[in-house]
Structure 1
Amino acid sequence: MISDNHGDRDILVTLKQQLQPDAVFHCGDSEMTADDSWFQDAYVVQGNMDFDTNLPLVVTPKVDGRQVLLTHGHHDGVNWDLTQLKLRADAAQADAVFYGHTHKLAAEVVGGHLFVNPGSISQPRGEFRYLGGTCALITVTATQWIVQYVTRDGQPVPDLKFTFARTETQKG
């Protein structure tokens, strides 16, 4: 999962080739057009800096039997808290919620939903901005969500690996 590359298409290409994820989620502010070839076989949403109205604001794909809610977050007040986004997650019956906008990485379980912000790959803010940008790899097991943050050079950050128990409703 990646977000907020703000026109830095090359980093998207590099990381997709290097990490070869099973599924790709872009949480907005790519500043690319919806028909960009990088978005082929990816889930992508529109951020507040994306002006192609063909990019959706929210997508709710079911991936390997797990309901995902993907949004940028700017319409949900994520700069302040996750209340509005949690209400949207409840309505979508989402197991996992992926969002961006703040440029700050975050991973937590709220109200039975896994919330993950990969941070900004190109313009990071906050405590971990010294890393130069992050994305997140999520591994799903029968009982856990494992969130591993990765730097622009594709290296895992050992201190930024988090494991969360999956709830019974998420195991469906």
Structure 2
Amino acid sequence: MKILIVSDSHGLTEELQELKAMHAHEVEMMIHCGDSELPADEEALENYFVVQGNCDYVGTFPEELVKECGGLRVFVTHGHRYGVKSTLFNLSLRAQEAAANIVCFGHSHFLGAEMIDDILYINPGSIRLPRGRIEKTFVILEVNESEIILHVHDLTNGKLNHLTQVFSLPKRD
């Protein structure tokens, strides 16, 4: 199973369409972690699960989503309401409440992934205004029986193999 995760596109439409065209055939789910700055009926967002970001003034999206995918619970939020620019603590409390296995968020525009207490936290960075790097990043997660493989992609140059990370899945009941 594969999941495409993007965030902080800030008005881009063609790029979201390109991601769909390139990857929709290989992924089971496409997630946008907010700050699309697009209306909810925008064609570029079709087939994405989208949450409300702090710069989403025209779109009416849910503040957070919990989706089941491949037996895992995926919690999606933008992150601004949880103070993710300074800590993951508040987000971790909400993730535990939601019984999440994977948390997808944005807001900071910093690419990152971290396993904390058997929950994988992923910020795919930004495809418009990245911080801390020049690549305009998004993530494709590949989940199998025992592990999650995180593939980082640059909008222009494709997969960044040197940033691939592998996380062991905790034993599930």
Structure 1 length normalisation: TM-score? 0.93
Tell me which residue corresponds to 1:87: 93
Tell me which residue corresponds to 1:166: 169
Tell me which residue corresponds to 2:11: 7
Once the two structures are TM-superposed, the CA of residue 65 in structure 1 deviates from its matched residue by 1.8
Across the aligned residues of Structure 1 and Structure 2, the Cα RMSD in angstroms comes to 1.2
2:17 is paired with a residue whose SS is helix
Q: Deviations over 1:86-114 (max 9, x none)?
A: 00000000010000000000011011100
Are the counterparts in 2 of residues 86 and 111 from structure 1 also a CA contact under 8 Å?
no
Once the two structures are TM-superposed, the CA of residue 43 in structure 1 deviates from its matched residue by 1.0
Tell me which residue corresponds to 1:152: 155
Q: How does 1:101-116 map to 2 (within 5 A)?
A: 101-116=107-122
From 90, 100, 123, the equivalent of 1:117 is: 123
Tell me which residue corresponds to 2:143: 140
Give the unaligned 5+ runs of structure 2: none
Identity across the alignment (%)? 35
From 62, 75, 84, the equivalent of 1:69 is: 75
Are the counterparts in 1 of residues 37 and 59 from structure 2 also a CA contact under 8 Å?
no
Structure 2 length normalisation: TM-score? 0.92
Q: Deviations over 1:5-61 (max 9, x none)?
A: 100111111111112232100000000011122333221101000013621110011
Instruction: Give the number of equivalent residue pairs.
Output: 167
Give the unaligned 5+ runs of structure 1: none
Q: 1:154 to 1:138 in 2, by over 3 A?
A: farther
Structure 1 segments, 4+ long, off by >4 Å, are none
